[in-house]
Structure 1
Amino acid sequence: MGRSKLAKFAAIGESENVIEPGDERYGLMKGQWRTSYFGNQHPLVLEVGCGRGEYTVGMARLFPEKNFIGSDIKGARLWKGSTMAEEEELQNVAFLRSFIEKLDENFAEEEVDEIWITFPDPRPRDRDIKRRLTSPRFLELYKQILKADGVVHLKTDNTGLYQYTLEVLAELKDQIKNLKYTADLYNSDLQEHTMGIYTTYEKRYLAEGVSIKYLQFQFQFK
C-alpha cells in the first residue's frame, strides 16, 4: 500500500464524520443515526457505494434540511468526501466505511428515507451477478431499511447494468411501484433528478458522449 493511501486511512481514522470498524461508534448507530449522530429528525438519505463521496456531499450542500450518509468499503476513496465535508463545515454529512452486505447491521428497519446508487461497478461477468448493487439480494436489503414511501435511485453509464436492473424489477413487479426510467437522463423529463451534481466519472462519460441512464422506484409494502 502506497504512502498516500496510508495517509488517507490514517486521516479518516481521525475524522469525526467517518465511522468504520474499530471506531467505538461502529454498529451503535443502528436506529440512532438521527438522534445520536445528527441530533435532529430530518430525513435520512443513504448513498451506497459512494466512492469519493462527491454525490453525498453535493446533495448535502443542496439540502441542509436532510441528513446524508455515504457508504463504501474503500477508505482511501471516502477520504475525499470526508475532507470536503469537513472543509465546508457540513454538519449534515456522515460516511460509513462498511461492506454494503452489512447495511442491516448498521441501519434499522424503516430508518432510511431514500437510497442513491450512483455509477456502481457494473460487474459485467455472469459470475458476479450477485455482487451487482441492484441484484435481488441487495434490493431485499434496501427494502428492509427503507421507509414505506422510500425511493431508490440508480444512475449509471452502463447499458448492461441498466437493462439488467429493469429486468430484475420486472421480475419483482408485484413488489415494485412507481417505476420511472430513462436511457438518456439529460434529454428526458426526469433530468430534474440530476440536481446539477456531477461526479468525476459522470463528467468523463458526458464528455465522451455517453448517455446517462437513470431509474427510480419504490417498494410495494403490504
Structure 2
Amino acid sequence: MGRNKLQRFKENEENRNVVQEGKDIFKNIKGNWNQLQFENEKPLVVELACGRGEFTVGLAREYPEQNFIGVDIKGSRIWKGSKIATAEGLENVAFLRTQIQLLDDFFSHGEISELWITFPDPFPRDGDEKRRLTSPRYLDMYKPMIKPGGIVNFKTDNTGLFDYTLEIISAREDCDILASTHDFYQSEFKDDHHGIKTRYEGIFSEKGEKIKYLKFRFLD
C-alpha cells in the first residue's frame, strides 16, 4: 500500500465528516444522522457509489438547506470529497464508508429524503443481475429507508443498464416514474442539476456518450 493511501486513511480517521468502522458513531448512526452527525433536522440526501464525492459536494454547495451523504467502500476515494468539503466549510456533507449491500444497517425507516444512484457498475452479464444497484433486490432494500414521496434519481452512460432499470421500474406497481430520458443534456431536466457532474460523467460525456436519467418515487 502506497504512502499516500496510508496518509489518506489516517486523515479519514481524523476527519469528522467521514463515518467509518472504528469510530463510535459508526455503530450508532442508524436513525441518528441528524442528531449525531449534522446536529440539525435538515432532510438527508444520499448518493450511492459516490467515488470522490464530486456530486455529493456539488449538491451540498447548491442546497445548504439539506444534508448530503456520499456512500462508497473506497476510503482513498471519499478522502477527496471529505477534504474538499472540509476546506470549503461545508458542514452539510458527510461520507459513509461501507458496502452498499449493507446500507440498511446505517439508515432507519423513512430516514432518507432523496436517493441518487450515479454511474454504478453496470454488471452486464445476466448472472450478475443481482449485483446491479437498480435490481429488485436493491430496490426492495432502499424502499423502507426512503420517506413516503421521497425521490430516487438514477444516472448512467450505459444504455443496457438504463433500459434494464426502466423496465424494472415500469413493471413495479409501487413505483411512479417522474422523468426519463436517454439524452440528459438535450432534455428539459438538465438545468435542475446545475451542471454538477461526477468524474465518470465528465469522462463519458467527453467521449460523446449520451447520459441517461431516470427519476422515480416509491408509492406507499
Q: Same fold (TM over 0.5)?
A: yes
Q: Does 1:185 align with 2:191?
A: no
Partner in structure 1 of residue 217 of structure 2: 218
Can you list the C-alpha shifts for 1:144-188, whole angstroms capped at 9, x where unaligned? Answer: 10000100000111111101101111221x111133200000101
Partner in structure 1 of residue 50 of structure 2: 50
Identity between Structure 1 and Structure 2 (%) = 51
Can you list the C-alpha shifts for 1:175-212, whole angstroms capped at 9, x where unaligned? Answer: 11133200000101121333210222211211111110
Matched residue SS, 1:124 = coil
Matched residue SS, 2:47 = strand
Q: Does 1:106 align with 2:106?
A: yes
Within-5 A mapping of 1:64-213: 64-172=64-172, 174-213=173-212
Partner in structure 1 of residue 37 of structure 2: 37
Structure 2 length as normaliser, TM-score?
0.96
Matched residue SS, 1:151 = strand
Partner in structure 1 of residue 26 of structure 2: 26
Letter in 2 for 1:85: A
Structure 1, gaps ≥5 residues long: none
Letter in 2 for 1:171: A
Matched residue SS, 1:160 = helix
Structure 2, gaps ≥5 residues long: none
Matched residue SS, 1:25 = helix
Misfit runs of 4+, over 6 Å: none
Structure 1 length as normaliser, TM-score?
0.96
Partner in structure 2 of residue 9 of structure 1: 9
Compared with structure 1, are the counterparts of its residues 193 and 122 closer, same or farther at alpha carbon in structure 2 (3 Å cutoff)? farther
